[in-house]
Amino acid sequence: MEQRFIVSNSVSYVVPRQNSQLRISVHRYDVFVSFRGEDVRNNFVDHLFGALSKNNITIFKDDTKLNKGEAIAPQLLHAIEGSRVLIVVFSKNYASSTWCLRELAKIVDCLNLSTKQNCVLPIFYDVAPSDVRKQSGNYEKAFGEHEERFKENKQMMVQIQKWKEALTQVANVSGWNLQNK
């Protein structure tokens, strides 16, 4: 049995009753949001960030615009690892961004390695959850383009398969469907 003490918004200490070891879990952010900027940055995500901020929820906000093929910045990976709640805003063009798919893969890695220190909340913004889950519609088209682009690169073809699995895994989590709203 363990006892949990919340010291601040971002640091909690867990003291197991069986022994005197102190285990520290540090979350630098309460929330990390993965989203396709061109789809939702200047509307839904801005409102989401505003609402979270008003409630004193610490958010990692990535304001950078990235070029195609650019590697994910280490600070972004650390922000994913250091966030308590991982929100994924699936939109029509989410899967067309390799950057978004890399973020999603990292989110799934964190969830799979987590000892329930992270949770994921999917939001389906103007896209059907089944399209995300099954990679149909715009998601099928995006993956067709990725496969064509990387067909000669075996390592990337393996990565594409991991992205598909990550989409399915996160889309199977109960979330919010904001389609046509």
**Which active-site residues does the annotation give?**
103
Closest Cα to residue 124, out of 150, 95, 103?
95
Using alpha carbons, list the distances in angstroms from residue 96 to 48, 68, 75: 22, 10, 22
Cβ atoms of 32 and 83 within 8 Å: the answer is: yes
Q: How many CB atoms lie within 10 A of CB 145?
A: 12
Distance separating alpha carbons of residues 98 and 96, to the nearest angstrom: 6
State the CB neighbour count (10 A cutoff) for residue 179: 12
Token digits for 117? 């220190």
As a whole number of angstroms, the distance between CA 17 and CA 35 comes to 41
What residue ranges in the chain does DSSP mark as E strands? 2-6, 11-16, 23-26, 29-35, 59-60, 83-90, 119-124, 176-177
